[in-house]
Every structure is written in C-alpha cells, then in structure tokens.
Structure 1
Amino acid sequence: MNPSPNSPISAATSPLAGPAPTVSSVSPSSGSTAGGTGVTITGTGFTGATAVRFGATAASGCTVNSDTRITAVAPAGTGAVQVTVTTPGGTSAQFVVYGYATVPAPTLTSVSPTSGPVAGGNTVTLTGSGLTNATAVRFGGTAATSFTVVSDIHITAVAPAGTGTVQITVATRGGAGDGISYAYAALPVASGVSPDQGPTSGGNTVALTGTGFTGATAVLFGATAALSFTVVSATQITAVAPPGSAGPASVNVTAPAGISAAGPSYFYVNAPVLSGVSPSSGPLAGGNTATLTGSHLIEATAVRFGATSAASFTAVSDTRLTAQAPPGSAGSTRITVTTAGGTSNPIPYGYLVAPTLSAVSPTQGSLAGGDSATLTGTNLTQTTAVLFGAVRAAFTVVSDTHIVATAPSGTAGPVGVSVVTPGGTSPAVAYARVAPPTI
C-alpha cells in the first residue's frame, strides 16, 4: 500500500510505479554537522515516497505532507550533499544541494523574569547569542506556548504550565545550548492588612501579611498602586496607601509568579467634619458635657480640647458626639475629632472663670417678691441663671460686673443669692425676705 499524504514514509511499494519524483528545493538549505535540523523538501511525485536521503544517509522523521511537500529531519553529515527522494517510481535525479556547516549552539545568559506562575501564560525575555534561527524554546521538557525571535540576542516566549525549577533551552540548527534556570512559583497570597482602614487622602502606612511576597513588584489598593512599599520578608510587606474613594478596596500583591487574588479589604474613610458644639464654653475644671455635631463622627478614636484629650466621649451617631471636657486654662481653645479618616476641622470652645458676687442691693425685700435687686461681681456676662436659694429669678445682664434681678417670693428669713454661668456657680451673698409690719 502506498503512503498517503500527511503520513510517515514507509518501505511499502506499489506494483503500479509512476514516474520518478523530482526535487526542486530544500529549506533551509544548510544545517549543523550534528544533524537534527528540520527541513522542508518541495517537488513533485512524492506520494508513496519510501525514503529521503542526504547524500547516502537516510533522513529521519520524514512525513509526506502532500504530493509536492515532505518534511524531514536532516541526519548528521559534512560538506555539501545531494538531497533525494525515492518512490516506487524511482529516485529523484535533480542536483539539489544541502550544505553541512559547523553552526555554533545558541547560548543563554539571562531570563527575565526568573520565575512565574505554575499556570504559565506569562511572557519571559531570553537573552543570549545565536538565537536568530531558533526552532524551539523549551521549559524543561515542555515547549513554550509560543515564542518570537526579536534578534540574534533576544527571544520572547510565553511560558507553559509547570512546577519547580526547570532549565529553559533554545534549539537552533546548531543544536540546543546550555539551559538557564527558571522557577515555577505559587501566586502570592495577601491574607491580612493592618490597619484595615485609613483616610481617603492616603499617605498612611499599612502592614500586609501573607505568602509568596519575595520579589514583589507592586502592591495594589483596588486598581491603584501603593505610593511606596517595602518587602520585609516572604510573608510581610509594608506599604503606603494611595488616595482612594470612600469605601472598601481589595489589597493585592504582584510578584513574578503573578498577582494575588481576593486580597483583604481596606476601607477608605472620610475625614470627620465639625459644625458646632453646645455649650460652646465651660468651667476651668472641666467635667461638663459638650455635644458636638457634624459628619463622619461615628468611628471617632479621639476628641481633643486643644492638646488635651476629652475625659471621655461617646459617638451617638455619625452626626452627633458627646464629650466630657477636660480641665483647661481661661480663654479659647479648639476642639477636634480624630477618626481613621483623619482629624476634623477645629471649632472654638471657651474655658471660663467662675463668676463671683460681692454685693446685692438692696439686701432685703418683701415676702411677696417682685423687688428689684442689683447684683455686683465679676464674670457675669454669660449668666444663665440667678438663684435666690433654689428658686430661679428673672434677670437682666447689665455688664460683666452687674446684673439686675427680680426677687421671687419666698418665706421670711435670709436666702443665698448666686449666679450660674458656663464657668460655674458663684458663692452666694445674703439677701433677706422681710414680712411687712403689722398695724
């Protein structure tokens, strides 16, 4: 039975021999004296071919692709030899020459990157010499998915899947040179980030934990690269967070083996904003409760009156926070709130000296009340109450040193008059209620 196109050559012959084959070309027309070069032979009458010879030596790996094309692997040899094809019709007679030459084997000096994922698919660049006529690139025993000869000293190749450390080799007509090491590595894994939140402005430093960080080339917060990063070890990286939009962002690490997947979430937090405080002042001794209003207050980590932390604070909601004022010095200070998103704008708060009373005039009034009394003292401007004993009186602040109050009714006898301001309560001065004379 005659071999059909696209089948290996066999020694079978046909009783119906046709005309002898002709050979018109061989490509490439030369190769290494060591043999092993793949060649394509073109001509006519190749169907049923039983042998391909380079001089007197049979080629190996011969395949009849069609009646006009055969592929074969050149055997070892020297000098210039005639390439012939034999079929049942005879042996070709055309003088088609194939030249043997001493072609140096290719050399490889470097590969970049030096490692990649076990799944392959990444592109590596090989550097060396004698690479122009490369016919194959292999990672260990596995052919590259594809390769491109860039120049005589550079080849780019797409790595196949693999494991462990393998030798990359390049085959040319001069043979396959010494290999260069390439490591298959597992993808990096980012498992933790601390702290796990920060300001939308970025700039804070976080610590990433995981595996496979050696040789990391990037740290990504979402799609944005970290401002900078340092590989501390194969399991830890420190990175400076870039700016981002409020909300979660997945943190991932890119290494020679590839990029980690499903990294830990890092939350971008808006900076807090303060719009008001009530009351806006308090005593030097502190201890009073101030209610702060604004936005993004729910995750407050600190409240400060100037440089002093509040005695305590409670985030009631994202827009409301209560804080116990610490002791302070007379005058104005500024309140700020800090969260993971940063520190708020400052708002003013006043520390007030407690009021004093030195006199009340007149010093007595009727049991029925309604008498006008002038109070003299200091720090009276922000008076919020005038007390005759425990009873509140109507009053008018005349100046920081004078108040006019209307005495309330009461029982006969002395009563202490005091003034209340955000700075505290004054010591009391005596005022007497006197019953009217009887007739």
Structure 2
Amino acid sequence: GEGPNGEVAVPIGDTGVYNVQGLELKPFGDIDIKITIDLSQLHPEFEFVNEYDSPNVYLKGSMNMWTPVQILDAGPDVDKGDDVAGDGIYTFVQGKNLGKHTGLLYDGQHGQFTLMFSKAEETWDMAAEYKLLTEGAVKGVKEGVRVYVSCFGSEWKEVDITFDKDSWGTSENTTVIAKCDGEPPKPECTPEGNECDPGEKCIDGKCKVWCDADEECDEGLKCKEHKCQIWCDLDEECGQGFSCINHQCQEVTVKSEPKILSLEPDSGPVEGGTLVTLSGTQLADGATVKFGGAAAENVTVLSDTSLTCVTPAGAAGKTAVTVTNPDGGADTFIKGFTYIEEAKAPQLDSIDPGTGPVTGGTAVNLYGANFLPNPTVFFGKGLATGIQFIDSTHVVATTPSGELGGVDVKLVNSDGQETSLAGAFTYVPNKVDYANLFPPLALTSLKGKPAGEAYAEAWEPGITAGDGAGPGLKAQLGYGPEVADLPADPAKWTWADAVYHGESGNNDVWKGTLKSDAPGSYRFAFRFSMDGTNWTYADSDGSTNGLAMDKTGTWDVKEPGDGPIILGVKPAAVSVLGGTTVTISGAGFGAGLELTLGGQVVPTANVTEDTVVFTAPKHEAGEVNLTVKNPDGKSNTLGGGLTYTLQFTPDCDGDMSEWPGEMLVTTNGLESNWDPTKNALMELYAAYDDDYFYVAVYGYVEAQNYIVGYLDADYPAGTGISQLNLLFDNKGNGDLDDALSNMVSVSVPGFGAELAFGSRGMASFLEGEDLGGSTYVGWRGLEPTNNFPWLQGTVACTADMLEAAIPMATLFPNGKPAGGKKVALFVKVTNAYGGMDGLCNQTLPQFFNPEKIEEVAIVAVVNVM
C-alpha cells in the first residue's frame, strides 16, 4: 500500500522463477500530510450523509496502519488541525494523530486512504466507505476531498489526488504522494546543545514546545502527546456539574431534584381512594407518584410546589411515597403515608405525666392502640390543645386549665369512636416548674453587714422564656437556723423579696443579699411562686428531686475581731489547669496566715488585713473548700469557696493532640456491636472559654453512619427534649436531621436537650462556611421539633477524632448567668436514619441496656462559670 516498489517483465506463458528487487523499508520522514472532506461537496451518491444528524467521519490509510480515526470539524481549539469549527469541512492531519508505530512520511512515499461515514449513534465498523463501483472496479471518490503536504515544517501546499491499487490489486484507493523539492533544512538545534528557549526541546533538529511528563507542565495541565494541555481522566478531576468525556471536562445535564415536604392527609384506608395533596418543590408537569410499589391515580400537578393524587390500595402500615418527574428526577419520602385497616375503637391504656398545674400547659403523652390521625382529647370537660399524632399507639396533648383534683381523660378518633381513662389526670396547685440555687453556696459576713449576693434561677412554661422578669412570678431569698426544716416549716425562716437579675436561656435569674444583727450559723435558699401561696424551693441540685437541707446554702454571721473572716473570692471559678491569680476578700487576716485549699496548703503571694492573694494550683473539677488560719490558731472556712472548671481553649481543627488529660470527662470501654473496626467511641473531652463551648471525641464511624451529640444548656431544669423519638425533622434522605430524629430516650431526671451536633462518616463543617454545606455535618437547634434550625458552629474531624465548637452566644443567648450553669451532654453512634434498625451500643458516657436499647441513663455534666 506504499505505491509501486519496482517493475519486472514476465513474458506471456512463462513459468520460470524470477528474483525481484527486495522491498526497502525506509525510516519515517519529515513530510506531514493533511486531508480534508467538505460534506457540502460530496458525490451525489453520498448526499444521504448530509441527512444524518451530526454524522461521524472517519479516515483510515496506509500511513496509520489502516486504523480508523474519527476526524473532526471542531476548529483550532481542539488542536487536531481543523481550521474553522462547524463549517462542514472535516480535517485529518497525520502529525496530529501519531501513535507509537506511526510517523511522518518520507519523500516520495504514497499515502493511500479511505474516508468513511456513519450516523452519530453508530461506530466506525458500521460506516460506509467513500467508494463507488466505476468501470467494473471499486474506486475511491475524490469529490469534496483535498490533500496537502507540508515539507520539513513549511506552510501547507495543496497537491493532486492520485489513485493506487490496494494490496489485493482489486480496487483503487485515493492517494496523496509526499513529495518535496530541495533538501531539508539544516537542523537549528541538537539534543546536546542549548539552542532552545525554556519550555522547548530539540526534536528532529527543531526547537519545539515539548514535554515528556506531567511534572514539566504548569499546575492544572497534563503532558499528553508531548504537549501541556487541559486534560482529564476521571470525573472527580472536574468541577461539580461536569464529567470527563473524551478527556475533556464537559457540563452534564442534571436531572431535576423534586422534594416531598408533606402529604395531607398522610394516612388513609388500605382500600385506597384517598385524595392526597402532596406539597414539595420542583414538581413538574407529567410527574408520577407511587405509594410503595403501586402507582397513584389521577395525578394532577397544580404548581411546582403542589400536586394531588388518589392512593392505590396498600398493605396496612407505613409505606414510602415516591414522586418522579418526566426527566427521571425523583424523591422518596420514607414512611410518608400510613395505610389503616378498617377503623377499630381506640383504646387508652396510660398517660404520662399524670399531674399538672391548674393553669394547664402540661404536655401529656397518651398511650394505647387504634389511634387515628387528627384526634380530639379532653381533660375533664376541657378541650386539650397542641395535639400531635405520633402513631396509632401514641398521641401528645397539652392540658387546658382545670380545677384542683382528678379528671377523666378522653380521646375521640376522627371517625367518632372514643375511649376514656377515669381519673387519670390530677390538677395540682400551680407551682413553679423548676428552681435552682447557684453558687456561691457558702457565705460569711460580719454582724450588721451584708453578705455577698446570692443567686437562683426559675423556669415556668410560658412565663420565664421572654426577656425581663416573668409576669406574675414571685421570688424570695430566705434564711433560718440550720435545724429548720424546709419546706415543712418555712415560718421559722426570714424571707425577703429578691431582685430580677437577668436571663439564662428560658429561665429567669434572681438575686438577693443577706444581712443579720445576730451572729450565728444559718442556712439560706430561694423560693418561687405564681400565686404567693404555693412555693417551689431552690437548692443546689435543683427542685426536680425536691429540697434537701444539705443542698441549701450556708451563711456564717460573725462578731468583728473574732478571727479571720472570708467574705468573697474573685474569681469564683478557675481552670483545672491552675495558674489563675485569686483574691480572697474579708477581714482579720494576719501576717503568717496559712491558706488551705481542699486540704492542700497553698503558698500565698500577698496577705493584708482584708485580702489574701494566691495562685490557684491544678485540681480536679468541682467545688473545693477554702480555709484561712491565723498564727493564733483562729480560722475560717468557706465551703465550696472556689470552683474548678474545664476552662481551656483548643484549636478546633480535628486534631486533639493539644487537649490536656484534665479535660477528659468520661470514657467508654464497651466493644462496639457494630463493626468495631469502623464504629467506636472511646473518650469524651469538654472545655469552654469566654467565646465557645467545646466538645472533643476520640472515636470514628464508617461512611454511612453518624457520631451525634446532644447538649442540655440548663441542666437539670428539665426543659428541652429528652424523648428524642419526639423529634421528627426526618424525610428518610440520610441527612443530619434524619440522624438526630432517632429513637433514643433519656431517663436522666432533669435532662432536656436544646442543641445537637453530628458528623456523617467523619465529615467536617467550619463556622462561617455556607450553611448549605451543613447537610450531613454541623450543629442544629431542636426547636421546632419538625424543622431544626441550622446553626453556625464547627464540627472538625480527622480519621479518629472529632472536635465541635458552638458559640457561647448560641448556647446562652442571654449571656452566661452570674451563678454559672450546668451543661449536660452525651454522644452516640447512630446510622443515617436515626438508628431505627437497631441502635449501636457506643455511647459516651458508657451506657447500654440490651433490654432497652434506646435508653440513655447517664449524661456528662460540665459546670460553666
């Protein structure tokens, strides 16, 4: 196929043997060829090609070992030799299509070639060759075809098309002859020389822009075909919305992303026939709907946010609902619709809680069977509000106001069938729901002089949540003899109205000052009331478990000159790491005074008659007693006078190496019941500073699972969420909201989470980033329970470490209360759908009850001062 190799004359009829000249295989040359085909100039027999939608054009020839090459009309940007994109002229250049075993042509070499055409969806082996039967032989067609040569890198020169017989001698192929006049130019460089500019190499005697490896190219380029060019091999190398096609990043068509937000109603009979309104986003005309695997009927798209349809028949229970747009974009609402069998009479078995104030407002759980959506609930004759249908066995209702005593609880299904539980709920006097006494819990003062200020907080639903003192809330600070019993004998105490101080989350903070002219030892406490008659008493572990005298504050009133007296400590809280300068204020301090902190003698830096200055040593978290003792043996102790807390500022970057051991809160040694090499929690750390509250976890989860944590910012007030199965911001798409809406139940009295964080597969989100990137990792508020607020905060992860930080302004919107606050938390491993297929046993603090896998009965508590 390289043209004639020589001639030999053979007489007719001769049967002799001839020795002919051998075939000379010459090295590659310096002559490039270009072949073009203009589709507007095709032979009339090939006009059908122009009827194709974007036809494929191929060329094969002796110069490329008869390998079909698709040639393009893509212009110079593609760098395949085509001059103008989209002009109908397809171009092949030998020098742009070199392989490992092909090269440029030598002088006089014949290049046979054949052009081929196919439809866009067909490949080269289905293409029609550009040949016709002419004078009894198959011969290539040259209409619309032009050929050019470039000698030794010179400009293109058009030459004539000739015809050579193929290797069988039965047909003729179109041919270009590589012929150049004169000698090739002398080389302008040598590989050993330095004649070329940076970025060029000496190739075939010429300085050319040339590369042999990716490292020789600028960032973002790859060395392909000895040229640094934009190139991709994998989709991951392209940006979002692009794919790697023919080694170029090309934009791909993205399907629509319909979303189902709600169904109304979300239940109906198993026979089907329920008209349902589906609300969502990006709903397109022609959308279809399925309930489980069965198609809905009469689907009518009202707008891009709403459609109606009629349910098919289905099996009793919850089923998935799927909407699919005509372009294939779809969304599934897991357990979005409940099929209900023929209605049975409801059955009410129990309620919780069974008591509440006469003013109403108590959220009550009703448990039983055969509940239908949209029930009505009565407490006595009063109609309940805020009714939530959880499922056919669980309804939540809020009590109306009532009269003291027991009342029947009645539930009426939407079909009119009802059930009652006699005397199940008892209305009690309206006492403030929660109260808590803040440090300092030990005060000392001189006779007739005021002691330091005392603080307490109170929470009453609907009263204390807003700014300012809750309307109608009464607060008093009182003191009495240590032997007096509260609340049984409040008359032995002296009470005075307290002063509103500020807010602590949903709680009001109050303060007061004690003063007495009678030296002695006393107890002090706060009390709160809505009616001035029924009081809730505050001690240091909160009112949830009642009042204990040993949890009230102590107050010593002394005569002047009766030994040293501690009146105050600033700051009242220091870091467990020590190093903080502390000043004790008081009276009667003598030179040579001995200071003891929690049984440890501490050096003093400076002592005057009314101050003692020292540097706090390291100490474990908690309250410690301070004792001052003069050389004459007289002493004074301030119980719980200094509080050690987890004050520390880490770098929240997913690397926990800088966390000191003093910040370790709890550990877990229970082997994971999910693959322990992929899902485990080992250690929980916590810390805070003026700006952030920090949590750190040694642990890890695999790609589809979550580490989640829940925080109670006002423990043990009992506000917030303890039954996490009441969280239902979940649509079954595996995002963080799904993972947080799980089946966990916290049995710790007084725990109620307001905030939560989580990470799927150890993903990270940094504060300040677009919250749109927080779908699978980040911080959430838990109110409202069906639409969690997405919060700014950091969750930074590495392979086996998680660090989380939430601004103090988010944790305490009204600022840190003067007396401090207790933050309770726990961390758990769950799957992307809230662990509804069985919870993992990995919890910090360590706790797992195999008989009740959803229970969490231990939480970690951090004092924030």
Structure (1/2) with the larger strand percentage: 1
TM-score, normalised on structure 2?
0.18
Structure (1/2) with the larger helix percentage: 2
Structure (1 or 2) with the larger CA radius of gyration:
1
The higher-RCO structure (CA 8 Å, 6+ apart) is 1
